[in-house]
Structure formats: C-alpha cells, structure tokens
C-alpha cells in the first residue's frame, strides 16, 4: 500500500467514526436519513460545481446506472445502520458492521474481481471471524441479551451492505472512471429523492432534528461524504481487498466512544474482539 493510500484511509477512518458518533447521539429513522442526504446536497453543491466546471468529467451510460445503483445500496446501508444504533449499542453495532464489511469484501474481491490475497491475508480473515464470534457469543452474558441480539443482527446486515457497496463502487471508480465526488453526490440525490415522501409525512420530526441537533447534522453533512470520498479516491489506485480492511481502524475509535460517552456494557470483551479484528485487518493489508 502506498503512503498516499494509507494517509487517505487513515483520515477517512477517524472522520467516519466521528459522524457515526453524531448519528448515535441523534437517534435515527427516515427523517434523519433524509436530512443526512439533504445536508450532503447543500454542503457539497459548490465543490461539485467547481469540480465539474474545472475538469468537465464525462460519465458513460453504464456509469449512470452504477451511480443510481450506489445510491440505492447506500440508502439501505444508512437505514440499517441507524436501526442498529436504535436497537443496540454503538460499541457493538459499529465494530460488527465494520469488521464484517471487509471480511465479505475480501471474499467478494476473490470471487468477483479475481484478486488473490496471500496466506497472511487469509489468516487475517480468520482473525476477523474470531473477533466477530467473540462479540456475538458474548450476548448470553449481557444484562439485556435481546438488545444484544438485535444489535448483532443489524450490525451483520450493515456489514453485508458495506461489502456490497464497496465492491460496486470499486468498479464504478476504477473501471468506469466515475469521479469519486460525483459518485458520492449521486448517493445524496437518490437518498433525498426516494425518502422525500416519507420525510414529508414526518416533517415534524425533521423540524425537531433541525431544531435540537444542528451541530450534529452539520458534522454528519461534512464528514459523512468526506470520509467516503477519501476511500473512493484510494480505491482508484489501490486493490479493494487492501482498502476495505485497512479503513476499519475506526473500529477502536467507535468502541471507545460507545464505552466512554454512552456508558455501554461489555467494554473489555468488545475491545478484545476489536483488537482481533484490527489484527486481522492489518494482516490482510500486509498480505
């Protein structure tokens, strides 16, 4: 991995953990999902305009199809993630989602893109699986096992969607040459459009979020697109089987936030499980 790719991924990881913390603070639901996409449209309209006027990018017909598809996948991902934060702890849902995502991405990269990780990389996959099992099997020791099971379910579902959009977007930016900023903006356009009817029906909730959480919404509006644009930029010149695992250094940040700011239980077990995942991620990246 080049130093530039590592720098992009490291910055994206910390930014990603920050906007997830803001999302957990607000709660979630369709109104928040719509506001997140709307904030993206407003905040990044000027940078997108400058980019298009300066570089005049062209997108093929298939590229437009992939732009619409990535919007749908990211929409499902966002709704699953928010539901997970409502049903479970940040220090449970976040590491499960971020650990499962690269695991399934590597499997997909081998099966669909022909990438061939080394034995060291495959050993890293095993460490990630061990970390996931350590978190999920700990549900029986929780004071609220039903809540933990729901958190595990949505964490794993979110991880599957992360793998799906990572592989999809890798093809879009590296093969179809869709610019990362344009691709991410398409996510926001799709989200705002499809969620608009539901957001209108729940407009009182939309107004409440705007009134009570303007700072968190601003953080999400800036950081959510930025973290992924950095990852998309790294994907343009780095294999997805390296980028997807390496970006998950944010797991430790998410676990720390969940334990310190929300007083979530099971910190020791979740921290150990996160270290397993990070060791696996490091092995995949090195391999």
User: Is 60 a residue whose pLDDT tops 60?
Assistant: yes
Rounded Cα distance between 103 and 220, Å, is 26
Q: How far is CA 5 from the centre of its chain?
A: 18
- Ranking 170-184, 209-223, 251-265 by mean pLDDT, the lowest is 251-265
More confident residue, 13 or 76: 76
Return the exposure string of 100-133: e unless at least 16 CB atoms fall within 10 Å of the residue's CB, then b: bbbbbbbebbbeebebebeeebbebbebbbebbe
Instruction: Tally Cβ neighbours within 10 Å of residue 23.
Output: 23
72-84 mean pLDDT: 90
| Per-residue tokens: 250 | 């944010």
144-162 mean pLDDT: 85
Which pLDDT score, from 0 to 100, does residue 69 have?
96
Rounded Cα distance between 273 and 131, Å, is 4
Residue with tokens 């303007």: 214
User: Is 257 a residue whose pLDDT tops 70?
Assistant: no
Cβ-based neighbours of 19, under 8 Å, separated by 6 or more: 219, 220, 223, 224, 227
User: Residue 186: which of 280, 72, 58 has the closest Cα?
Assistant: 72
- Cβ atoms of 110 and 175 within 8 Å: the answer is no
- Ranking 63-67, 94-98, 165-169, 220-224 by mean pLDDT, the lowest is 94-98
| Per-residue tokens: 273 | 């499980």
More confident residue, 59 or 28: 59
């Amino acid at each position: 991995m080049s130093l530039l790719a590592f720098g992009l991924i490291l910055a994206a990881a910390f930014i990603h953990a920050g906007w997830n913390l803001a999302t957990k603070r607000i709660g979630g639901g369709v109104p928040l999902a719509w506001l997140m996409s709307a904030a993206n449209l407003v905040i990044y309209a000027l940078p997108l305009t400058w980019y298009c006027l300066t570089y005049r990018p062209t997108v093929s017909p298939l590229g437009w199809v992939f732009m619409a598809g990535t919007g749908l996948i990211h929409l499902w991902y966002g709704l699953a993630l928010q539901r997970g934060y409502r049903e479970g702890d940040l220090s449970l849902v976040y590491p499960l989602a971020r650990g499962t995502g690269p695991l399934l991405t590597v499997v997909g990269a081998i099966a669909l893109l022909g990438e061939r990780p080394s034995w060291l990389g495959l050993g890293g996959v095993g460490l990630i699986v061990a970390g996931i099992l350590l978190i999920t099997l700990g549900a029986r020791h929780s004071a609220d096992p039903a809540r933990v099971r729901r958190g595990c379910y949505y964490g794993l579902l979110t991880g599957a969607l992360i793998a799906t959009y990572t592989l999809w977007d890798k093809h879009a930016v590296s093969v179809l040459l869709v610019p990362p900023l344009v691709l991410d903006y398409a996510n926001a356009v799709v989200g705002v459009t499809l969620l608009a009817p539901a957001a209108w029906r729940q407009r009182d909730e939309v107004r409440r979020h705007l009134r009570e959480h303007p700072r968190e919404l601003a953080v999400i509006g800036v950081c959510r697109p930025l973290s992924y644009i950095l990852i998309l930029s790294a994907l343009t010149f780095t294999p997805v089987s390296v980028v997807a695992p390496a970006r998950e250094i944010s797991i430790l940040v998410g676990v720390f936030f969940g334990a310190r700011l929300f007083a979530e239980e099971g910190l020791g077990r979740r921290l150990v499980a996160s270290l397993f995942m990070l060791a696996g991620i490091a092995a995949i990246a090195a391999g």
